[in-house]
Amino acid sequence: MNVLSKVIALGVLSVMAACTNNDPSALGGGAGGNGSILPGSPSDPQSPAYFQQTVGDRLLFEVDQSTLTGQAQTILQGQADWLLANTDFVATIEGHADEQGTREYNLALGARRANAAREYLISRGVAGNRLTTVSFGKERPIEICSTEECYSKNRRAVTVLTGSTLG
Amino acid sequence: MMRFLTSLLLGLTVLAAPVYAQSGPLRLELDQGIIEPLPFAVPNFVPDGPAATQYANDLSRVVAADLTGTGLFREISSDAFISRVSSFEAPVQFADWKAINAEALVTGAVNVSGKRLTVRFRVWDVFSGQELGNGLQFSGTTDGWRRMAHKVADQVYTRVTGESGYFDSRVAFVSESGPKNQRLKRLAIMDYDGANVQYLTDSAAIVLAPRFSPSGDRLLYTSYETGQPRIYVLDVDRVKRTELKTQDGTMSFSPRFSPDGRSIVYSLIQGGNTDLWKMDLASGQSVRLTNTPAIETAPSYSPDGSQIVFESDRSGTPQLYIMPANGGEATRISFKQGRYGTPVWSSRGDLIAFTKQNKGRFHIGVMRTDGSEERLLTSSFLDEGPTWSPNGRVIMFTRESQGASGRATLYSVDISGRNLRPVRTPDGGSDPSWGPLQK
Amino acid sequence: MDTGTKISAIAHVSLISWALFGGTFRSEPLPMPVQDISVISAEQFAAMTAQSEAPELPTPTALQQPDAHEEEIPTPEPVEQEPPTPEVSEPNEPEPELEPEPLAPPPEPVVIEQPPELAPPEPEAVVLPTPPGPEAQPRPADKVAPEPVAPPPPEAAPDDIESPAVSLDEGAETQQEQQDQTAPEEATDEIVTEAEEAKEYAPRSSPRPLVRPNRPTPPAEPEVAETEEPTEPEPAPSDETAINDALAEALGQSSEPSGPPLTAGEKDAMRLAVSKCWNVGSLSTDALQTVVVVGFSLTPDGKVLGGTLQMIDSSGGTDASARQAYEAARRAILRCGAKGYTLPTDKYDQWRDIEITFNPERMRIK
């Protein structure tokens, strides 16, 4: 099972590699025709899609932890930069937990994670009133298997751009 | 006469034989018995007319199912019956019931006139030939026949075990459908046995953990309808809900009523930290009960309202603590290996049920209120959220199965650890809250 | 940008983010509500239209329609989202006024007054219709007994002590396979919960060697060694009871017990005989704290003399719990004595009156 998933993962990675090579030119060609980037597309650095996919909207946590890993801090730094550059947006940080734990505890744990992310963003200059948090505990896993492989992806904080301060 | 003659003839010999003195009756002490379901029979109740036949049959079946479901009783199938009960008033043929080893016998009669239903019944101790308690009758409307059956069963249960019953009670729970990552949750209520499911909310927002008020008239629950987890109180009869304005903080959850129903204790998240608060329902005023950087959640009152048991990870892992109901110093009560959560104080006051996570397994367990005599009743991939039956004899909880197709199911188990069984619900079910016996 | 490129780009991006994060889109705020709502309505509609009823009982549909609301049943206010089905479950308040009314005293069945031995059909003659086995009992130990054994439960034949119906081998064999299957037949000496079961599978179900007191045969006196007092080498022991009785009668001392005391083995046999029917499984936790002393008298053939059963003493509980404890003790004495206890007839005067202390201390849930 593990081997199989690794094989699949490798396959996906190689496809991705191919994509990274191809996509920019393909998109560039398309955009170049119009002389501008399609607004709102992932290639638009001011779009939520760009934030989500390029900056990275989520960080992962160790079991039972809400401390930020080095990788998480890097992602958050990117988020902070983006938020500082795109001041129209406000964000909600969703905290999540894996299913290994009681509903109540996981709800509280998710809140800790979301808050850890929020505090970091604030420490990087993002205004606190642009950042709210919510915890979903174990109610909204993105991966549904019952192994560490899935759990590690479910222990996350996701920064969701919820709109613009300008309304 | 014969004996007398013999004695005369052998008198001399006998006098020579020693006569053993004994100071009284033969005295024995038993300290070992057996534990097994008590065999009982519920012959179909006697209908007083064609209109009552179906009700009589159904009623007696529900009575039997209630008793069997406890695990403390075992029904003897009607196939084994020697005598039929064709009249409620006729003397019971105890020999016939003894012969099939029925220790308890329930006889009954049902009368239906219009929409009015009356059930009469008696409970018999077969081997002594005596009635347990007195005959009783319940009247109501025909569509309440199930409740009447539960009431009869509660009586039988009480008369045999000496404990109050729990059949005429309801359970609030979260009805679950859909895959794990898009689970749809609705608040629902049903009879304790899974019958008569009614939905109290839709599934537009996540709802969690309903908690009955002590009298059963209201439910507290947590809903995401504003986008944030917030506490609501719902009037069960009118199905009207109100958001409770908890203290400042975006998220509040894990509410529970005080035994007098006038206040609630709950978890409030402020700045990522979860503490316990208490709210007076009349004034809406909240008071902080804990103030630590640790997670404090899943509070539950002692039946006398003087203490609160809750879960905290102040020691590094989630453990159980007890503190005075107005806050103050907390005493840790869980010390064995593992992580403890969702403690719930039994209505009898002597035990605390909890969820335990240890070595990759989840357990429902009980311990005394000082943490001693811990006993684990279940073991599975994921068991959590115990709730007590009104009489403190049975625990219902959520069991979630493993993997991508994982599904939540309600289970119940006797506090002895016996009689583990699923409670059937139309869809998946989680977060049960067992209400009080209905009046 | 041509459509193909767009599609390709979108597909690629989805694939990438799926590979990286898995289901990224599902947690995105924008697509999610839309998806949710559509799923909700479908599912909900299905669920609402297919309201399932109590699973265990075939519910007569005719009974399910409270179409006309009776005056005493206020209709529950329908919720906005409430399913359209006219739900039966009456809410708390409009309960169908269940008024308990005590019934007149029961018809006094004559049977009650009769001593058990007069009960008409002697059970031996009746082929016991085997009650359906404890079917589908999910617990490994359906029964907890003093001796963990595999033999059939005593309610099938409480007096069947001596028939080795099930060999120990069978118990040993079944324990190899599915625990659940053998469970109903077994008796363990402890309650085994699921939690314990997991780690202590095998040992719990393995039958312990039986220690059974020798069954005294009335005429002979095999227990000499255990008796404290020398046994009379009586030439005609079977007459002894009659003789003693006669003597007692002749001397006008019918109440004075006589005959050699029961041996320890004989007492054990009697204790075991009653304990096999002493079922505390249905007792409340309070009743399990209560010790009761029950007195009764036996006929010479070992049957309980009607009307002599009584609670002599109780301790450790309330009146109510004492009553339950007494009733369980009474059931034990009557049920296991239905065919008469086997006691040495020559010592009748020693066991004519018996007092048994039922101490459930060891039977409590621990």
pLDDT in tens, A133-162: 999 999 999 999 999 999 999 999 999 998
Looking at the structure, do residues B143 and B291 belong to the same domain, yes or no? no
In a domain, B52, yes or no: yes
Rounded Cα distance, A152 and B73, in Å: 47
B179-194: average pLDDT: 95
In terms of domains, do B191 and B319 share one?
Answer: yes
φ/ψ bin of C109: left (φ > 0), alpha (ψ from -120 to 50), beta (otherwise) = beta
Closest residue on chain B to C328 (Cα): B160
pLDDT interval class at B35 (50, 70, 90): confident
Does residue B3 belong to any structural domain of this protein? no
- B77/chain A closest Cα distance in angstroms: 42
Residue C253 lies in a domain: no
Alpha carbon distance B201, B287 (integer Å): 29
B385 and B309 within one domain = yes
Average pLDDT estimate for B230-237: 95
CATH label of the domain that carries residue B432:
2.120.10.30
pLDDT digits (tens, 9 = 90+) for B151-160: 999 999 999 9
Residue C289 lies in a domain: yes
Kindly state whether residues B325 and B280 are assigned to the same domain: yes
pLDDT at res. C261: 86
**Which one-letter DSSP state was computed for residue B79?**
G
- The domain boundary, picked from B161, B188, B221, lies at B161
The answer to the question of residue C95 being in a domain is no
**Is A109 an 8 Å CB contact of chain B?**
yes
The reply to whether B279 and B393 lie within a common domain is: yes
Same domain, C283 and C357: yes
Q: What is the pLDDT of residues B124-156, one digit of tens each?
A: 999 999 999 999 999 999 999 999 999 999 999
- Residue in the structure block whose two tokens are 């020559």: C346
Percent of chain B predicted with pLDDT > 90: 87
Kindly state whether residue B288 falls inside one of the protein's structural domains. yes
Q: What is the DSSP string of B255-312?
A: EEE-TTSSEEEEEEEETTEEEEEEEETTT--EEE----SS-EEEEEE-TTSSEEEEEE
| Distance (Å) from the alpha carbon of B188 to chain A's nearest alpha carbon | 18
Q: What is the pLDDT of residues B268-300, one digit of tens each?
A: 999 999 999 999 999 999 999 999 999 999 999
Full pLDDT tens readout for chain C, 366 residues: 565 566 666 656 555 555 555 444 443 333 333 333 233 334 443 443 343 333 333 322 222 333 333 323 333 333 333 333 333 333 333 344 555 666 766 554 333 333 333 333 322 222 223 333 333 333 445 566 655 544 444 443 444 333 333 333 333 333 333 333 333 345 566 667 787 765 444 333 333 334 444 444 344 343 434 434 444 444 444 455 554 544 444 444 444 456 788 899 999 999 999 998 998 888 888 888 899 999 999 999 999 987 899 999 999 888 888 998 999 999 999 988 888 999 998 889 899 999 999 999 888 765
| Residues of B whose CB is below 8 A from A100 | 357, 382
For every residue of C8-59, which 3-state class applies, written as one string?
A: HHHHHHHHHHHHHCCCHHHHCCCHHHHHHHHHHHHHHHHHHHCCCCCCCCCC
- Does C110 map to a domain? no
Last residue of a domain, one of B145, B161, B177: B161
Nearest chain B Cα to C29, which residue?
Answer: B227
Does residue C198 share a domain with residue C268? no
The number of folded domains in chain C is 2
Sort out which chain B residues have CB atoms less than 8 A from C194's CB and list them: 377-380, 413, 417, 420
Q: Which positions in chain C touch A164 (Cβ < 8 Å)? A: none
- Domain membership of residue C129 (yes or no) is no
A33/C contact by beta carbon, under 8 A: yes
C275 plus C354 within the same structural domain: yes
B237/C91 Cβ within 8 A: yes
| B18 confidence band (pLDDT: 50, 70, 90) | very low
For chain A, how are helix, strand and coil distributed in percent, rounded to 5? 55, 15, 30
B385 with B417, same domain? yes
* Angstroms from A53 CA to nearest CA on chain C: 7
Domain CATH for B89: 3.40.50.10070
B193 pLDDT band, cuts 50/70/90, is: very high
Mutate to test the interface with B, among C72, C137, C284 (most CBs of B within 10 A): C284
Do B128 and B250 lie in one domain? The reply is no
Grade residue B301 by pLDDT with cuts at 50, 70 and 90.
Answer: very high
Query: How many domains would you assign to chain B?
Result: 2
pLDDT in the model for residue B314 = 96
Provide the domain limits for residue C349.
Answer: 259-363
Residue where a domain terminates, one of C205, C220, C251? C205
- With beta carbons under 8 A apart, name residues in chain C contacting A52: 17, 24, 28
Show the beta-strand stretches assigned E in B78-126: 104-113, 116-125
- pLDDT at residue A37, as a whole number: 73
Q: Do A133 and B181 count as a contact with CB atoms less than 8 A apart?
A: no
B56 and B99 in a single domain? The answer is: yes
Domain membership of residue B17 (yes or no) is no
The closest CB to that of A26, out of C5, C23, C26, belongs to: C5
Q: Does the distance separating the beta carbons of B65 and C111 come in below 8 Å?
A: no
Chain B positions in Cβ-Cβ contact with residue A101 (cut-off 8 Å): 339, 341, 357
Of B178, B373, B376, the CB nearest to C43: B178
Of residues B11 and C256, which shows the higher confidence score?
C256
Between B55 and C284, the higher pLDDT residue: B55
The better pLDDT of the pair C18, B188 is held by B188
Q: Which residues of C touch A75 (CB under 8 A)?
A: none
User: Does residue B345 fall inside a structural domain?
Assistant: yes
Give residues with Cβ within 8 angstroms of A127, minimum separation 6.
none
Q: What is the pLDDT of residue C2?
A: 60
What range does the domain containing B355 cover? Answer: 169-437
- In C178-217, the residues whose Cβ lies within 8 Å of chain B are 187, 191-198
User: Chain C closest CA to A123's CA: distance in Å?
Assistant: 25
- Cβ neighbours of A143 in C, within 8 Å: 22-23
* Contact: B74, C134; criterion CB under 8 Å: yes
Which of B177, B217, B239 comes nearest C43 by C-beta?
Answer: B177
pLDDT at B356: 97
Residue found under tokens 């009623």: B59
Q: In this structure, is residue C352 part of a structural domain? A: yes
Nearest CA in chain B to A162: B227
Residue B35 has its nearest CB partner, among C123, C258, C279, at C279
Q: Looking at residue B439, what is its pLDDT?
A: 84
Q: How far is CA B204 from CA B226, C44, C54, in A?
A: 11, 10, 26
What's the pLDDT score for residue C190?
Answer: 63
Q: A72-95: per-residue pLDDT in tens?
A: 999 999 999 999 999 989 999 999
The verdict on B181 and B125 lying in the same domain is no
Contact A142 C22 (CB under 8 A): yes
Give CA B118 to chain center in angstroms. Answer: 26
pLDDT at C314: 93
Residue of C nearest to B365 (CA): C195
Q: E strands of B2-115, at which residues? A: 26-30, 38-41, 46-47, 73-75, 104-113
Contact A134 B250 (CB under 8 A): yes
Report ipTM (2 d.p.): 0.89
The arithmetic mean of pLDDT across residues B417-426, rounded, is: 94
Are C194 and C264 in a shared domain? no
- Tens-place pLDDT, residues B234-255: 999 998 999 998 877 779 999 9
Would the CB atoms of C129 and B136 count as touching at under 8 Å?
Answer: no
Q: Spell out which residues of chain C touch residue A30, defining contact as CB-CB under 8 Å.
A: 1-2, 5-6
Of B299-303, B414-418, B420-424, the least confident: B414-418
Give pLDDT, residue C145: 62
- A touches which chains (3+ CB pairs under 8 A)? B, C
Do B142 and B201 sit in the same domain of this protein?
Answer: no
Q: Is residue B9 part of a domain?
A: no
Q: Domain of C299: which CATH number? A: 3.30.1150
pLDDT score at B83:
86
Tell whether B326 and B344 lie within a shared domain.
yes
Least confident of A59-73, B214-228, B325-339, C220-234: C220-234
The domain boundary, picked from C166, C188, C205, lies at C205
Torsion of CA C254, C256, C259, C263, to 10 degrees: 130
